[in-house]
Chain A
């Protein structure tokens, strides 16, 4: 399942235009400590974080995660969206909590098996 397919299936908003929406989603990881996330996020993960600063894009790029998900309709800074475009990082958002998003994505991935 790609990022785009996942977003369409679960009603998540795709914030920016990036080829990365065609990346394959293989897992999900939720963490707001950037160093911890950098160590633990795997390639193919949807990384959920409440942070919306530029460093999020750097961590997403370095970990090669499938996309970044911003929960609870938190506003995303314009410069972060611009940087995501530059670095080819897909940004998603939705109104749900991190916990609920994890549940939904894991359920969707389980159903795919």
Chain B
């Protein structure tokens, strides 16, 4: 199959359409007949990254490439960047404000959920420049 490419805009602080990109990708993968386990892992990883961009990154972009072996997702924002990535990767650590916590987010599980569900996770971040989260999920595990 040829590579399927999709690009989505992730709005800042707009929870009415947050998750639409992940939902769209989930639909594409299901239609392609990708195994439910892979669809779920991809959906969780992408949704968490998408929500992070909404909450922390002033919104951003999602770029998705699907070929016969894998899905690659790049979520990029021009937000404040992550000051201490090791700390941010720790489960339970969160800088989300109370308003976000009241919605059920901000448990400090986003990045660790991405790590658990992605086969490859690479995060590039720079203070006051932004963050790029690169996620790859293979359709068949080695």
A36 at the interface (CB under 8 A from B): yes
Chain B residues contacting A49 (CB-CB under 8 Å) are 104
Count of chain A to chain B residue pairs whose CB atoms are closer than 8 Å in the complex = 66
* B113 touches which of A38, A56, A61, A87 (Cβ 8 Å): A38
Chain B residues contacting A95 (CB-CB under 8 Å) are none
B44 at the interface (CB under 8 A from A): yes
> CA of A58 to CA of B21 in the docked complex: distance in angstroms?
11
* B16 touches which of A34, A38, A64, A79 (Cβ 8 Å): A79
Given contacts A55-B103, A62-B47, contact A39 B116 (CB under 8 A): yes
Give the interface centre of A36, A43, A51, A58 by most chain B CB atoms within 10 Å. A58
Determine chain A's interface SS by DSSP, over half rule. helix
Determine chain B's interface SS by DSSP, over half rule. helix
Chain A residues contacting B85 (CB-CB under 8 Å) are none
A53 at the interface (CB under 8 A from B): yes
Pairs of residues from A and B, 6 with the lowest C-beta to C-beta distance, nearest first: A58-B19, A35-B109, A34-B104, A33-B107, A62-B43, A51-B104
CB distance from A82 to the nearest CB of B (A): 11
**Across the two chains, which residue of chain A brings its CB closest to B105?**
A34
Given contacts A51-B104, A55-B103, contact A36 B109 (CB under 8 A): yes
Q: 1/0 contact trace for B103-131 toward A, CB 8 Å?
A: 11101011001001100000000000000
